[in-house]
Structure 1
């Protein structure tokens, strides 16, 4: 039995157990704290604390379920890889870092899991070891490093409260100046990990990782860590921070939806849809509903993992081609994969009674009931329409028309191991949304809206689908003539020039760091600092050693010299 199957079975059993326990904790309203005091220093206690409540256990069960399917899927997808065991061990470390982050109510242990995610994600992005994956890994690592530094600074500010168990202080010190600073740093950290504007460029770049990793990263682990951290820290966020967060989340959602309509890389389209859904989660969280944000986080994890698995199967069968222009009529070549792919896509769009519908429709109706300005309201619904546009475009390019692949090809859907893992997840996509809505929502949402606002989500979805279909049929990108249109399309397709700016910024930071290291750390600081101080201390210590070792001789010499000087003065 291979290591993939062993780890997959192990994760699956733990996932089912955690799900049952989370339901028990949810219905009985239990929360368990496990606390181990390591040491106390200057009234600051260093403790290892683990929090088990229904939210952390339910999230862990979803992460482990998706991880088990991804590991089983990897058995066939990574079949030709000589380092499969190393790949599985890296994924295992990745999942364990996420587990530590989920169950930590302590900033120090959160940082351990948070930094573990950043470090292991770098190892996974550069897994194929070429120039492009190296550049993508560097952008990923450098962007996530900003969040790590923010968490480190918030840890130092938390010393003002005597402990790092932030859950105990959030409600009491909400208006405290120190807590405002801490909350601002935590929000910036969450924005880097969840790839909000202006830190969005690393998310599509991270597609350089193997597809099973993309399935894991974009569904339930790395990108959702920021949203989960904000859910835990929500009680200390004041209204001004939430207003900024709402604006950033909506702009991220709009930017990602716009960019996905110009993209031709299959994995990047799905990555940009992840970015759009993360903007949706952050927005609804900023509007004050953490439960709805968490609910959408779970349903999104199900259909996004399935989408990436289907994309990986397509790429695998097509000999590692990822351009959707090479596809077409795939439903004849790979019927089961395409059925699962379309179900996941429809769930992403909010098709009735699939997982995405229950959370997404509820979010849009909740927004319609809220007191927000027209700008945010319109952008929300335009972004929903854009989601339908790029989904229909993706389905058009991959399913309709003739196959644009190589003239001689042998495309065969024989990957039974991959199909098994996809079937389990697509079953959860079908039943997961309704199941979670019954379980998680203790009190049902009562939505009372006028008829037009009630069907607004349906209207923009249908309009987006029609526009997406017609634009795909026209092949609009080939008919662009004017330079202005070309420049605007380049601007929209390049995520508002953020990747370029990120590369320049990162290269500037790296060059500055290299210069400072060379000129300062190994230059002037060596001369005036450590090395010079070392030489001075060595010289003075040698001198004092001679002095102390020969103090009797020196004393006698000084006595003789004093007598000699005395005689000399007497003679004079």
Structure 2
């Protein structure tokens, strides 16, 4: 009986062991330049073999190590955060199933097994989003599931096209210069865009915040939304050869700009963090489109660590604010939650690219590498604007939740007593401080050198500082926030450029109108000349036939008289 209270410890231990073993194997594969392919012969009929293939290289193993490390912290954190839930063991089981689906996708080499892990992520994410079983969670779960189903259909179509290439393996099947490769890559690009919530499929990402906070920390850091980026990283050489990277660059740029602007108008704590995730996913897509897939992967794993820490800190603030997610209802928590405030500011600094934190090594290198490319002034301004806005909303989040005068009740008290939450945040804080320096030495064979003119070299730092200054003015001086009084502009930004309306209400209302038209046709002429008309005519004929066959003397006499009259008339 006591075992059911310690499932979070057992799961955390298994995930920590998996993370450590994957890290050791990944470093071994990096230093030895090795990779491993394991094939299992499932079925062989008439010379056709069905193989289940696993592919182990340094990238998959390092990513698996980060997924397991963050999942270990989140599951351990859930032991305290979800302790009041009667179904906590079912919740932990769903989280472990979610992690298992991600593992399945990471190590798969062929498209069929990738689809199994991909669909597993979609199904379990729907179950976790609707975990609280209310109307809001149901709506969020439906838009999450239906948006991801578009990517599932795209992968199924790519599997059908790969049949013509003779293999489902993306190593052997897509190395040819066949015209089918471009079509397959188009479908895979759509799949990656839907899973990573790129425009115009971005509406489901903030809606998925209806899930419990530990699920949000896992989904928005290292599992569901990163699956699309990881898939496109695997297909990066083919993406560059087909020329679709230009389209991906535009989509990633629009996504990061939209998410950065929307985050500065949002007041929901979890949605601000979710939109910051969307902004960073757009940056990863831009880097991938330029051709720096290793930098995109490096920023992917670094971002996962400090973003999970940011979600766990937000969950503690929500916990102490009596479940309110609006950061205007909190404030002043730096006194009672000093360690949580330290971790929150640490993760925000890493997100902004503060020197020598994990985000600095990936984000600064990413931005400077993009500046080396000949992309034009619009791309440079877009990059700088998005980077500055990330600093702006990070300061707003820290100020309103921690440093502003408290908006809570007079007798309200907050406390930092939970040792389980302490351990999880300490683990991720160490990663946010040290992982950037460690992994930049391990992942890149030679030190990365970026040579730029002084103006471009200082551009990243200056945009970050300007974003902080704008955030200070908007937060500290209410007169500077007059722009927030414009309801139409606020609605435009908080609704993600009306993507939520386009993804939900517009499509549903369009199909409702079509269904009403079909219903009118069903109840009108189509019924008269269709099923109902045929049914009525057959019923009338059968009743008439039955009435004729009655043994009635009157009926017989009338029939004889009518026949006799007709005979007389005809003769």
Normalising by the smaller structure, the TM-score range is: 0.7 to 0.9
Aligned pairs (5 A) from 1:131-142: 131-142=135-146
How many Å separate the matches in 2 of 1:439 and 1:509?
53
Counterpart pick for 2:363 among 360, 364, 367? 360
Asked if 2 retains the 8 angstrom alpha-carbon contact of 1:44 and 1:162, the reply is no
How many Å separate the matches in 2 of 1:342 and 1:444?
29
| Matching residue of 1:420 | 423
> Is 1:75 matched with 2:76?
no
How many Å separate the matches in 1 of 2:151 and 2:514?
18
| Matching residue of 1:191 | 193
How many Å separate the matches in 2 of 1:90 and 1:268?
23
> Is 1:55 matched with 2:59?
yes
Moved more, 436-445 or 34-43: 34-43
| Matching residue of 1:498 | 499
How many Å separate the matches in 2 of 1:44 and 1:282?
38
| 1:474-525 deviation digits (Å, cap 9, x = unpaired) | 235863597xx432232122210001111125525875998999999xxx9x
How many Å separate the matches in 1 of 2:161 and 2:195?
21
| 1:349-402 deviation digits (Å, cap 9, x = unpaired) | 000000000000001110111111211111011000000010111111122231
How many Å separate the matches in 2 of 1:467 and 1:390?
9
Pick closer, same or farther for the CA change 1:465–1:105 going to 2, 3 Å: same
> Is 1:457 matched with 2:464?
no
How many Å separate the matches in 2 of 1:171 and 1:228?
19
SS class of match (2:323): coil
SS class of match (1:198): coil
- TM-superposed CA distance for 1:443, in Å, is 2.2
> Is 1:295 matched with 2:298?
yes
| Matching residue of 2:234 | 232
Pick closer, same or farther for the CA change 1:96–1:385 going to 2, 3 Å: same
Aligned pairs (5 A) from 1:60-459: 60-173=64-177, 176-237=178-239, 238=241, 240-459=243-462
Aligned pairs (5 A) from 1:25-44: 25-40=29-44
Pick closer, same or farther for the CA change 1:337–1:510 going to 2, 3 Å: farther
SS class of match (2:244): helix
SS class of match (1:50): strand
Pick closer, same or farther for the CA change 1:35–1:511 going to 2, 3 Å: farther
Asked if 2 retains the 8 angstrom alpha-carbon contact of 1:317 and 1:413, the reply is no
SS class of match (1:439): helix
Pick closer, same or farther for the CA change 1:473–1:170 going to 2, 3 Å: same
Asked if 2 retains the 8 angstrom alpha-carbon contact of 1:4 and 1:72, the reply is yes
Asked if 1 retains the 8 angstrom alpha-carbon contact of 2:343 and 2:425, the reply is yes
Asked if 2 retains the 8 angstrom alpha-carbon contact of 1:73 and 1:417, the reply is yes
- TM-superposed CA distance for 1:39, in Å, is 3.3
Pick closer, same or farther for the CA change 1:194–1:419 going to 2, 3 Å: same
Asked if 2 retains the 8 angstrom alpha-carbon contact of 1:219 and 1:302, the reply is yes
| 1:46-78 deviation digits (Å, cap 9, x = unpaired) | 221000111001100110111111111000000
| 1:287-309 deviation digits (Å, cap 9, x = unpaired) | 00110000000000000000000
How many Å separate the matches in 2 of 1:47 and 1:510?
42
SS class of match (2:55): strand
How many Å separate the matches in 2 of 1:393 and 1:192?
29
| 1:301-342 deviation digits (Å, cap 9, x = unpaired) | 000000000001111122111111112211101000000110
Give the TM-score normalised by structure 2.
Answer: 0.88
Asked if 1 retains the 8 angstrom alpha-carbon contact of 2:484 and 2:490, the reply is no
Asked if 2 retains the 8 angstrom alpha-carbon contact of 1:45 and 1:163, the reply is no
- TM-superposed CA distance for 1:207, in Å, is 0.2
SS class of match (1:412): coil
SS class of match (1:134): helix
Q: Which runs of 5+ in 1 are unaligned?
A: 529-572
How many Å separate the matches in 2 of 1:283 and 1:502?
24
Asked if 2 retains the 8 angstrom alpha-carbon contact of 1:170 and 1:235, the reply is no
How many Å separate the matches in 1 of 2:516 and 2:172?
44
How many Å separate the matches in 2 of 1:186 and 1:37?
26
- TM-superposed CA distance for 1:40, in Å, is 5.0
How many Å separate the matches in 2 of 1:391 and 1:295?
22
| 1:412-450 deviation digits (Å, cap 9, x = unpaired) | 111110111110110011000000100001122221111
| Matching residue of 2:535 | none
Give the TM-score normalised by structure 1.
Answer: 0.87
How many Å separate the matches in 1 of 2:107 and 2:10?
24
